[in-house]
Structure 1
Amino acid sequence: MAENTEHRPPRRRGLRIALFALAGVVLVGAGLGGLAYWKLNGNIRSVDISGQLGTARPPASTGGAFNVLVLGSDSRSGDNGNLAGGETGDTARSDTAMVVHVNQAHTAASVVSIPRDTLVPRPACTGTGGKQVAAARSAMFNSAYEVGGPACAVKTAEQLTGMRMDHFVEVDFAGFAAMIDAIGGVDVTTTVAIDDEDSGLHLDPGDHHLGGEQALAFVRTRHGVGDGSDLGRIELQQEMVRAMLGQVGALGLAANPVAMWKLGDQLTSSLTTDSDLASVGALVGLAQTIKKIGPDQLTMVTLPVVYSVSDPNRVVPKNPDAQQLWAALRGDGAVPQSVLAEQPTNPAQADPSSGPSAHPSGGPSARASASAARSARPTAVDGGAE
């Protein structure tokens, strides 16, 4: 939904500070010597998206506007282990997906969250190890990453949006938790109890300070609050972004080189990017490019969806709303008012006394009343903490 800044004071100014945090890390690294800078650069993992996809893509962005696909991977490899509950296995999917569009003047950005269970046409891809993956007429959006890795996820996003994904950024479970711990945790407020056995998160109503693992559980919880749907979880993820920015703003990084170095080390260690963005210099350049984008110039929405006729546990883009949203961004325009008007609410910020209300797009209400909501509609989208 459009960011309401009327009642969000000074902590939201952390957005601008966060954009410069990495730039500050570079300065600290330079002061500590070339070895420190080299270490930060070596932390970043990269994928040659352009080399894998070739030229069969939407045209490159022009005039200064650009798009970034941001993914949160649910990989359980390495340090990810069994973080945040849910099923474990050898595969990984894009548990969180956001398309970030920065306008030509670099003065505003729109962030569109794509529900992971959205059924979309998935194009043919070349998977890991060169294995060819056949196209699918209807597949969950997050399956593209599972079968073909980052390049297939980018290709699927480009087909869905009609826009070139100029950059790609991925963070996994362990990386996200480590970043939260590096900034000293985050503060969140919930007006309702959250009790989710799948994610392992148990919070009473009130204010809470969350460490890395709890923050990860917060952004992955779904069954412990609201109606158990992925749409409500997306709202929790957007709330966590606000909390992170507020905490970064309170750190006073410019006067605390040790904290700045720790954050920079965790940040670069947590990222996988496209090859063009895989250096501290490139990331700092990106931050400089969007330095004019403050909280008042950021709009966060969820892709309009409705439940699928063929599978009530999945959703499909709601047209013409979804088409109008992508068309507006392709034309470097603002998110349409019709899309802003039908956004879900944050289940953690619901009025505990209010019952469920139908979501305008035909999806579930995100208001807190899990048992009532579940009895009034089909099974929640997907299962588990996944």
Structure 2
Amino acid sequence: MNSNPMYMEYVDDADPEEPAPPRRGWRILGWVCIGLSAVMVVGSLTAYGLYRQAFGNIAHEDVNAKLGPDRPEKLNEAMNILLLGSDTREGENAKYGRQMKDEPPRSDTMILLHLSPGGEQAMAISFPRDLMVQRPECEDREGNTVPGSNRVQINTAFTVGGATCVIKTLEALTDIRVDHFVQVDFAGFKNITKAVGGVPVCLNENVNDPKSGLRLSKGKHEIEGEQALAYVRARYTLGDGTDTSRIKRQQKFLGALASKVMSRGVLTNPKALLQLLNATTKSLTTDSELSVTAMMDIAQGMQGLSSGKLRFVTVPHGQDPLDKNRLALAPGADEFFESVREDKKPPEAEKKPEGKPEAPAPTIPPNQIRVRVFNGSGTDGQAGRVADSLEAQGFQVTVGGNAERTTATKVLYGSGAENQAKSLAALIPSKPAPAARTGGAEPGVVDLVIGTDWTDLKGGQRGIPEQQGEIRASDNICSET
């Protein structure tokens, strides 16, 4: 075998504790996807016609018909993009692992990029390939139905049915609606690192890894192409030799890549931006609905994103109780998924009207206010979620059921509850004017009718709580992971 890394068979070293050869090195493909997504969400692509040709390089796949109508409901204006890395050996990828050219493509990279409403944050959620899950029934690549399985590694979904099966599996696992997917092949990684002029990394010691071809001295470096590929795939010569350690290194690498793209003028330099887009888009496949227009809309909606708001986490997990070489979701995973599903758009900054100041709202303590919550939003379960938020702030709450659908949230009240209604209304960003209820009112009770404009109470939890071990794109590249 030629020792030049250009011609190495890019397959990870065998793990003696695992029954099958791992392919975790392919996870870096997902980081390339996030790099592209970072470009899309922070770039001001005003020269639409100029960039349209670059986006025309992207291949598209129609997955909606296969997914069908039985999918999680969207609870907010967040955008969830599934990022997949494919180890296909077609075309330029043939030189990476010639012995696998006839095998079906795999994806050990499954990352859900969650773009919060209002541009407040973006979170890249990595799903380890060894995570044991239930896989639903899927169609294979020939259109045949493959029965579901109660216990499989999550990465088998891509081999069975491509992006569609991965989306089905993740939606069943998380109850989070996936809006789009982006799939990239291995060859695109080198091109994107070259297009940005290298990515900064920091080493605590000299590295000479004959398996990956990585040779770097201690300290800071800017790496690209084959050298960058060797850096992200090396396992035993960097960190503690575990795959978890390598995931952290890859997250820091991608964070450094995104930070450089955001801060060093790549997005405002037409030549550099086109070079980056051309390098990346030639290696991409997306769903049919992720059009140029959709990408532009995402970019316009995420102009406030900075490197400090780009977060990288791994889904909460632990050792699988049935197999020490596999992983299982941790008990806190459901709570984490719920925070992603219900990520709220923060309220608009209030504008103080000119002229006569508003009279201050009554300040009756929440524990002295009885509230019935009615769901007029059309979103299943919304009344219960709002009731939980109210209870967390101390209100006495009951759920009143469904109401006629309404755009605007309403605060109604029975006799003797006007000041209580005003106190509650003051905590709602849209500030609905309380009105006396003409029918069905209970004395002393405030009725809150949730409309489609509902965000959250002031002072309520918004966004996704900080996760253990999370990394931000703004972190110091020399800090310990």
TM-score where L is the length of structure 2:
0.61
1:164 to 170, 177, 194: 177
Larger RCO, structures 1/2 (Cα 8 Å, 6+ apart): 1
Using the TM superposition, name which of 14-23 and 61-70 deviates more.
Answer: 14-23
**SS across alignment from 2:170:** helix
- Secondary structure of the equivalent of 1:149? helix
Which residue does the alignment assign to 1:316? Answer: 328
Distance 1:194 1:282, change over 3 A: farther
Q: Give CA-to-partner distance per residue, 1:346-374, whole Å, 9 cap, x none.
A: 9x9576xxxxxxxxxxxxxx7xxxxxxxx
Give me the whole-angstrom Cα distance separating, in 2, the residues matched to 1:173 and 1:15: 14
Q: Of 24, 30, 41, which residue of structure 1 is paired with 2:49?
A: 30
Per-residue Cα deviation, 1:285-331 (whole angstroms, up to 9, x for no partner): 21212222222333321112212232222111111x11211121122
Structure 1 window deviating more from structure 2 (98-107 vs 179-188): it is: 98-107
Distance 1:86 1:204, change over 3 A: farther
**2:67 match:** 53
User: Which position in structure 1 is the counterpart of 2:468?
Assistant: 341
Q: State the distance in 1 between where 2:340 and 2:98 align.
A: 34
Match of 1:127 among 140, 143, 152: 140
Secondary structure of the corresponding residue to residue 240 of structure 2: coil
Which residue of structure 1 lines up, in the alignment, with residue 312 of structure 2? 300
| 1:206-236 residue CA offsets vs partner (Å, 9 max, x unmatched) | 2222122222232333233223322222112
The Cα of 1:15 is off from its aligned counterpart by 11
Instruction: Provide the C-alpha distance between the structure 2 equivalents of 1:209 and 1:87, rounded to a whole number of angstroms.
Output: 32
Q: CA deviation at 1:263?
A: 1.5
2:336 corresponding residue in structure 1 = 325
Report the Cα distance in structure 1 between the residues aligned to 2:40 and 2:55, rounded to whole angstroms.
18
Q: CA RMSD, aligned part only?
A: 3.0
Q: CA deviation at 1:148?
A: 0.9
Within 5 Å, which residues of 2 pair with 1:228-377? 228-249=241-262, 251-253=264-266, 256-277=269-290, 279-319=291-331, 321-332=332-343, 333-337=462-466, 340-341=467-468
> Which structure's residues are more often helix, by fraction?
1
TM-score by length of 1: 0.75
Residue 108 of structure 1, CA deviation: 2.0
Counterpart amino acid of residue 274 in structure 1: D
Provide the residue aligned with 1:114 in structure 2.
127
Q: Compared with structure 1, are the counterparts of its residues 194 and 97 closer, same or farther at alpha carbon in structure 2 (3 Å cutoff)?
A: farther
Q: Secondary structure at the match of 1:164?
A: coil
Largest Rg, 1 or 2:
2
Q: Structure 1 pair 258/74, CA: closer, same or farther in 2 (3 Å)?
A: same
Q: Partners in 1 of 2:38 and 2:71 — Cα distance?
A: 34
Could you tell me how far apart the structure 2 residues matched to 1:116 and 1:322 are? Answer: 16
More off after superposition, 71-80 vs 135-144: 71-80
Partner-residue secondary structure (3-state), 2:322: coil
Determine the structure 2 residue equivalent to 1:223: 236
* Cα separation, partners in 2 of 1:240 and 1:136, compared to 1, 3 Å: same
**One-letter identity of the residue aligned with 1:341:** Q
Q: Letter of the 1:121 partner, please give it.
A: Q
TM-aligned CA distance change 1:86 to 1:185, over 3 Å: farther
- Match of 1:236, as an amino acid? R
Matches within 5 A, 1:194-213: 194-213=207-226
For residues 263 and 339 of structure 2, what CA distance do their matches in structure 1 show?
35
User: Is the Cα–Cα contact under 8 Å of residues 197 and 224 in structure 1 kept in the other structure?
Assistant: no
Change (3 A) 1:219 1:183: same
**1-structure distance, mates of 2:215, 2:168:** 38
Q: Distance in 2 between matches of 1:87 and 1:193?
A: 32
In structure 2, what residue type is equivalent to 1:225?
A: L
CA drift at 1:153: 0.9
* Of 174, 178, 193, the match for 2:187: 174
2:199–2:224: 8 Å Cα contact kept in structure 1?
Answer: yes
2:199 to 186, 192, 195: 186
Query: Are the equivalent residues in 1 in contact too, given 2:42–2:262 (CA < 8 A)?
Result: no
AA aligned to 2:308 is D
The CA deviation string for residues 171-212 of structure 1, in whole angstroms up to 9 with x for no partner, is 221112211112222121121344544443333322222122
Asked if the contact 1:183–1:251 (Cα under 8 Å) also holds between the matched residues in 2, the reply is no
> 1:53·1:151 contact (CA, 8 Å) conserved in 2?
yes
Query: What amino acid does structure 2 have at the position aligned with 1:217?
Result: A
Change (3 A) 1:133 1:241: same
Change (3 A) 1:243 1:344: closer
- Matches of 2:195 and 2:314, distance apart in 1: 28
Secondary structure at the counterpart of residue 231 of structure 1: helix
User: Cα distance 1:228–1:93, how it changes in 2: closer, same or farther (>3 A)?
Assistant: farther
Structure 1 contact 40–280 (Cα < 8 Å) conserved: no
Q: Distance in 2 between matches of 1:336 and 1:41?
A: 34
Rounded to whole Å, the distance in 2 between the matches of 1:232 and 1:211 is 21
The alignment partner of 1:225 has SS state of: coil
1:43 aligns with 2:43: no
Give the secondary-structure state (helix, strand or coil) at the position aligned to 1:202: strand
Task: Identify which of 157, 168, 171 aligns with 1:144.
Answer: 157
Q: Which residue number corresponds to residue 401 of structure 2? A: none
The aligned length equals 325
Question: What is the alpha-carbon distance in structure 2 between the residues aligned to residue 88 and residue 120 of structure 1?
Answer: 26
Determine if the alignment matches structure 1 residue 155 to structure 2 residue 168. Answer: yes
Secondary structure in structure 1 of the residue aligned to 2:279 = helix
Q: Distance in 1 between matches of 2:83 and 2:72?
A: 18
